[in-house]
Amino acid sequence: MVKPFTSLTGTVAPLDVDNVDTDAIIPKQFLKRTERTGYGQFLFYDWRFEDGEERQDFVLNEPRYKGSSILLGRKNFGCGSSREHAPWTLADYGFQVIIAPSFADIFYNNCFKNGMLPIVLSEDQINQLFQLVTTKSGYEVTVDLENQTVTDSHEFQAHFEVTPYRKRLLLKGLDEIGSTLEHQSKIDSFEDRHRIYYKLEHGSI
């Protein structure tokens, strides 16, 4: 069941780095856990911590960005592996929205499965947001999924695209598996006519 998302007003944290990859978001030593939760503490681990201490020179450690719920990024955000641990980690840390000029495919898709909204804006709009967030302390924007807008209380206003299905998925908090299973009879009849050319021995080992 996807967690519903309708709108959000929150402070923005800027991460001015291209190609932020999933290894950076959640390093592999934390992928051995078998749970879905509790990853927030490991977000950007190698960037955030040095010998277990917070690094002063990493942007998310700056007091003014603590508690932000919207992450502003650069191009090709979330590239790399398919690990859904990446959105789990960002969400668990507190980010529900990520705004960037482009996202890697699998990461983008994974976000929606977890009640998170990735938003693509133009390079110009992104530059403008970076400018605003670094010059105004406590800079907030409102993200409205119904109207597909990102706005602040003064000058910034942007429209973003999202497919109707993904929009509905988030607004309603759909159970995707449940909705596919409504088409069970179609899957059955597909299997009747579809050929598979390999056959494994059944069962474990």
Partner 1 sequence: MGKTLYDKIYDKHVVYSGEDQPSILYIDLHLIHEVTSPQAFEGLRLNNRHVRRPDLTVATMDHSIPTTDRSIPFRDDVAKKQVRTLEENCHDFGIRLFDLTSEHQGIVHVIAPELGITQPGQTIVCGDSHTSTHGAFGALAFGIGTSEVEHVLATQTLKQDKAKTLAINIEGELPKGTSAKDLILSLIGKLGHDFATGYVIEYRGEVIRHLTMEERMTVCNMSIEMGARAGLIQPDDVTFNYIKNKKYAPKDELWDDALIEWRSLYTDDDAVFDKTVDFDVSVVVPQVTWGTNPGQVAGITDVVPSIDSLPFDQRKAGEKSLQYMGVSSNTPFEEVKLDKVFIGSCTNSRIEDLRKAAKIVSGYKVADSVTALVVPGSQRVKRQAEEEGIDQIFIKAGFDWRESGCSMCLGMNEDIVLEGERCASTSNRNFEGRQGKGARTHLVSPEMAAAAAITGHFVDVRNWVTREREEVRSW
When asked if residue 84 is in the footprint of partner 1 (CB under 8 A), the reply is yes
Whichever of 44 and 152 has its CB closer to partner 1, that residue is 44
What are 116's two structure tokens? 């998170």
Tell the smallest beta-carbon distance from residue 49 to partner 1 (Å): 10
Q: Is there binding between residue 128 and partner 1 (CB under 8 A)?
A: no
Rounded to whole angstroms, the Cα distance separating 117 from 60 reads 20
Which residue is listed with tokens 């007091």? 63
Q: Following DSSP, what letter does each residue of 12-67 receive, concatenated?
A: EEE---TT-BHHHHS-GGGTT---SS--GGGTTHHHHEETTEEPTTSGGGSGGGTT
Q: Which stretch binds partner 1 (CB under 8 A): 24-32, 53-61, 131-139, 143-151?
A: 24-32
Q: Which is nearer to partner 1, 21 or 140 (CB)?
A: 21
What tokens does 70 get?
Answer: 């919207």
Residue 22: CB minimum distance to partner 1, A: 8
Q: Is 63 in the site for partner 1 (CB under 8 A)?
A: no
Among 7-15, 57-65, 139-147, 177-185, the segment contacting partner 1 (CB under 8 A):
177-185
Q: Where are the alpha helices (DSSP H) in 53-183?
A: 85-93, 105-112, 123-135, 164-172, 176-181
What is the phi-psi region of residue 174: left when phi exceeds 0, alpha when psi lies from -120 to 50, beta otherwise? Answer: beta
* Token representation of residue 125: 């709009």
Distance (Å, whole) CA 197 – CA 124: 51
Q: Which is nearer to partner 1, 44 or 93 (CB)?
A: 44
**Using rule CB under 8 A, residue 114 touches partner 1:** yes
Any contact of residue 34 with partner 1 (CB under 8 A)? yes
Q: Least Å distance between CB 155 and partner 1?
A: 26
Write out the residues near partner 1 by the rule CB under 8 A: 17-19, 21, 23-24, 27-29, 31-36, 46, 75-76, 79-85, 87, 102-106, 109-110, 113-114, 163-165, 176-177, 179-181, 183, 186-187, 190-191, 194-205
